[in-house]
Amino acid sequence: MEKFKRLKKEGNDFVKMGEYEEAANKYSECMKLNTEECTVYTNRALCYLKLYKYEEAKQDCDHVLQIEDSNIKAFYRRALAYKGLQVRKKNIAGI
């Protein structure tokens, strides 16, 4: 559990510095240790949104909502992911 907390803190620190790829990697390592901790999924979803990886963000939020069906951050970040996917689809259609 101590390693999990350390990795999560490192991920949070990377987010504060705007290093979203590194933060996502730390949160992914956390998930290997605990798949039920929702905050690492919503945190990684935030990173994916910042990296324009909307499908990955949506998947993380979907996972959280299967565990906690009223998680506000997961709902909000999934909505942002859907919005990003819609914008991308419109841009591709316009090409």
Q: Range of 47's domain?
A: 1-93
Q: Which residue would you say has higher pLDDT here, 93 or 2?
A: 2
Q: Residue 76's domain is classified under what CATH number?
A: 1.25.40.10
pLDDT in tens, 19-71: 999 999 999 999 999 988 999 999 999 999 999 999 999 999 999 999 999 99
Per-residue model confidence (pLDDT) at position 90: 72
Phi-psi label, residue 52: left if phi above 0, alpha if psi -120 to 50, beta otherwise? left
Q: Which two tokens stand for residue 92?
A: 């591709």
- pLDDT-derived band at 87 (thresholds 50, 70, 90) equals confident
| Domain count across the chain | 1
- At residue 95, does pLDDT exceed 60? no
Instruction: Say what the pTM is.
Output: 0.90
